[in-house]
Amino acid sequence: MRLIVGLGNPGDKYTKTKHNAGFWVIDELVRRSENAVEKKQCQAVLIQCSINGEKVLLAKPQTFMNLSGHAVSEIINYYHDRLDDLLVIHDDLDLPVGKLRFKAGGSAGGHNGIKSIIAQLNSNDFDHLKIGIGKTGSAVDYVLSPFYGEDLEKINAAVIKAADGVECWLKEGLAKAMNKFN
């Protein structure tokens, strides 16, 4: 079973903040899925479902962003998933608002949620889908603020496109997803 993790912060206070872009894509995938069953386990909201006929496990860690690795490692250990079946969806300050980038492995690029996952898994050998949120001012204040106006329209369109990209990743693999969506 493939594991798709969207990163964000739990709680109503953070629902609309830029750091929750990964959660928004998971929500869109759930909306598109079939036979979705949700439960809370492994410090995460887990949704077992089918997307275009393929069984997947969608996850929204309920740890805060900087501790995402704790939930992800618990999920991996419990479900015996392989890292080559893992896709982590997260925001990226270095990409313009709405820009998508699939990536194989690599560094955390300054993202504390990804740093935590790499540290807990003792590996960076998993796929990423980065969602550009742009950057102005202090990074901490910026990622914990909502989108407005034109940027909100761009990010809403990017969430739909990211879900399309995940479906491509599931069906055709990372290389095809990179070619179509980067």
Query: What pLDDT digit, counting tens, does each position of 22-71 carry?
Result: 999 999 999 999 999 999 999 999 999 999 999 999 999 999 999 999 99
Mean pLDDT throughout 128-146? Answer: 92
Instruction: Answer yes or no: 19 catalytic.
Output: yes
**What pLDDT score was predicted for residue 46?**
98
pLDDT more than 90, % of the chain: 91
**What pLDDT score was predicted for residue 94?**
94
Mean pLDDT throughout 100-122? Answer: 95
Please answer whether residues 61 and 4 qualify as being in contact, where contact means their C-beta atoms are separated by less than 8 angstroms: no
- Residue 137 in this model has a pLDDT that exceeds 80: no
140 vs 181, more confident: 181
Report how far residue 137's alpha carbon sits from residue 149's, in angstroms, rounded to the nearest whole number: 18
Query: What CATH number is associated with residue 31?
Result: 3.40.50.1470
Mean pLDDT score across all residues of the chain: 96
**What pLDDT score was predicted for residue 140?**
85
> Hey, what are 6's tokens?
């969207």
Report how far residue 145's alpha carbon sits from residue 26's, in angstroms, rounded to the nearest whole number: 20
pLDDT digits (tens, 9 = 90+) for 63-103: 999 999 999 999 999 997 789 899 999 999 999 999 999 99
Mean pLDDT throughout 163-181? Answer: 97
Catalytic residue among 19, 70, 111, 128: 19
Helix then strand count (H, E) for the chain reads 6, 7
Helices (H), 90-173: 112-121, 139-143, 149-172
**What pLDDT score was predicted for residue 136?**
81
The number of folded domains in the chain is: 1
Which residue segment(s) compose the domain that 105 sits in?
2-181
**What pLDDT score was predicted for residue 28?**
98
